[in-house]
């Protein structure tokens, strides 16, 4: 990694997987879809979108699985931390799970997606744009 441009770094909870991204984030949101909830075992899953070409795994190799048609997700095989989401419909983009980044506070969400699938007791308490499905 270039010391002059530290880029955006992150990894899993146990430290087995470390990654580096050298291009700026394009978006940051919170997903409420059923699949994200199941993958995270949480009511929502925050994400930061980056250009896929800039993602480099510097340590370890994440496990991958297809969570739905055209969607590939990665996670740490040792601790289970969800790491990334890629959709065949947008091959140039990768969503990294916000809390897998070393500085998650630097990436506040600017919208919600898949609110049509949120659990009933999950109350959205901010005034960010909320999309019933994916963002336009």
- pLDDT score for 2: 38
Q: Locate tokens 């109350």: which residue?
A: 123
Q: Which two tokens stand for residue 88?
A: 């065949």
Distance CA 30, CA 36 (A): 10
DSSP 96: E
List, in sequence order, every residue forming a beta bridge with 86; answer none if it has no partner: 72
pLDDT at 83: 97
| DSSP letters for 50-94 | EEGGGEEEEES--EEEEEETTEEEEE-TTT--EEEEEETTSTTEE
How does DSSP classify residue 38?
A: H
Separation CA 86–CA 84 (nearest Å)? 7
pLDDT of residue 3: 41
For residues 92 and 52, the answer to whether their CB atoms sit within 8 Å is: yes
What are the pLDDT digits (tens) for 21-31? 999 999 999 99
pLDDT of residue 81: 96
Residue 7 has a pLDDT of 82
pTM exceeds cut of 0.85: yes
What confidence score (pLDDT) does residue 13 get? 97
**What is the pLDDT, as a whole number, of residue 136?**
67
pLDDT at residue 6, rounded to an integer? 60
Domains of the chain: 34-136 (2.170.150)
Mean pLDDT per block of 10 residues along the chain (136 residues) reads 64 98 96 93 96 97 95 96 96 97 95 96 94 86
């Amino acid at each position: 990694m270039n010391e002059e441009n530290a880029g955006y770094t992150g990894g899993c909870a146990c430290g087995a997987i470390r990654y580096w991204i050298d291009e700026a984030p394009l978006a940051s949101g919170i997903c409420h879809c059923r699949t994200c909830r199941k993958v995270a075992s949480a009511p929502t899953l925050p994400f930061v979108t980056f250009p896929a070409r800039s993602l480099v795994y510097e340590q370890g190799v994440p496990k991958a699985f297809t969570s739905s048609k055209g969607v590939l997700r990665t996670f740490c095989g040792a601790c289970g931390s969800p790491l990334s989401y890629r959709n065949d419909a947008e091959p140039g983009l990768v969503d990294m799970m916000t809390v897998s980044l070393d500085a998650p506070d630097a990436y506040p969400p600017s919208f919600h997606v898949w609110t049509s699938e949120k659990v009933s007791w999950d109350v959205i308490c901010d005034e960010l744009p909320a999309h019933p499905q994916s963002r336009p």
